[in-house]
Structure 1
Amino acid sequence: MTAEPKRASEWTIHGERIVDDTRRAVLSIADVELPDGVRFEQYVLRVPGAAMVVVLDDDERVLMVWRHRFIMKRWVWELPGGYVDQAEDPLTCAAREVEEETGWRPRTMEKLVTFQPMVGTIDQENVVYLARGADPTGAAPDINEAERVGWIPLTEIQQHLTNGTIVGAGSVSGLLAVLLLRASGKL
């Protein structure tokens, strides 16, 4: 089997050294060369994939969690989701995370969108699923995951995006994908 030929605009990686290696992330510095010969060092963060769910009920409301993000020092609405464990199916992870974080069990799930949050720095696949309907499990949501759980009407999502109460890449990507489906009549 032969390798695909290098393209003219492809960057060359001369090496990568690990700076820190933890349970959930590996931080390294890559020695990179651009096609014009310029070389520099680029931080690279390798983290496990993540899976999130847009749980949509019959009244076109989305199940979300209100949580504090200490890095930004802000309270925000987010879709339920989390890291995919090693050898775990992203769909299984997504369903598990909804139950743990919200106390609701999704009825049906289908892949909605896949994205990379920062393609120039982070090596992490994120998968967002669409769940149509959910049933309460009777379990309380995990206090470590959310201050509260709420059903947000799709008609209010744009305002939350505008005022900055929904800012996470996964939540924004998933919600915009659902709004596009809704606008096209495919939801």
Structure 2
Amino acid sequence: MTAEARRPSEWTIHGERIVDDTRRAVLSIADVELPDGVRFEQYVLRIPAAAMVIILDDAERVLMMRRHRFVIDRWVWELPGGYLDPDEDPVVCAAREVEEETGWRPRTMEPLLEFQPMVGTIDQQNIIYLSRDAEPTGGTPDINETERLGWVPLTEAEQRIQAGEIVGAGSVAGLLAVLLAKANGRI
């Protein structure tokens, strides 16, 4: 981008050097300059896109996984989902992850929400789908992914978020999007 096309409040990136490059993340340090001329280094984490699914049954309960997250050292409830493989269609990824992690197969999938969880540091598209119908496959949930599954009443979602039982950005954003859509009569 040329200096003439830049907006006055836009940051300038003078370069970016890779610190670590793995299959699931690229950590780099960007040399950035603010509009007022202050220059500093900013960590940047580039992560593959992720897709998640809210499976909502006829009783308005959401299929969630109880799991331990070692980074924050807490047990939490999460939506099933995971990273997209290279060139994988997000809806295919979302359905695959649900089946692998829970033993349930979504029958329908509709786009619900897309967001970036931490735009100041992390570059990762998150795509959330809504499924209103799923069937058990007979498969067992992956022990590496979940301690147990639960059908959480949608009416308890906000309370569980407030209580810190649901803390992941994708799970929180997805559940709040469903609650908003429901309140506005869209679902």
Q: Normalising by the residue count of structure 1, what TM-score does the alignment of the two structures yield?
A: 0.97
Identity of matched residues, %? 76
Matches within 5 A, 1:36-47: 36-47=36-47
**Structure 1: which amino acid aligns with 2:109?**
M
Following the alignment from structure 1 to structure 2, what is the Cα–Cα distance between the partners of residues 122 and 46? 6
Aligned equivalent of 1:162: 162
Looking at structure 2, the residues matched to 20 and 59 of structure 1 have their Cα atoms a distance apart, in angstroms, of 46
Count how many residue pairs are aligned between Structure 1 and Structure 2: 186
Counterpart in the other structure of 2:60: 60
Give the aligned partner of residue 127 of structure 1. 127
Aligned residue for 2:75, secondary structure, equals strand
* Aligned counterparts of 1:4 and 1:31: Cα–Cα separation in 2: 21
Q: Which runs of 5+ in 1 are unaligned?
A: none
Distance 1:155 1:10 in 2: 42
Q: TM-score, normalised by structure 2?
A: 0.97
Confirm or deny that 1:74 pairs with 2:54: no
**Map of 1:183 onto structure 2:** 183
- Structure 1 runs (4+) greater than 6 angstroms displaced: none
| Counterpart residue type for residue 55 of structure 1 | I
2:109 paired residue number = 109
Task: State the AA in 1 paired with 2:68.
Answer: H
Could you list the runs of 5+ residues in structure 2 that have no partner in the other structure? none
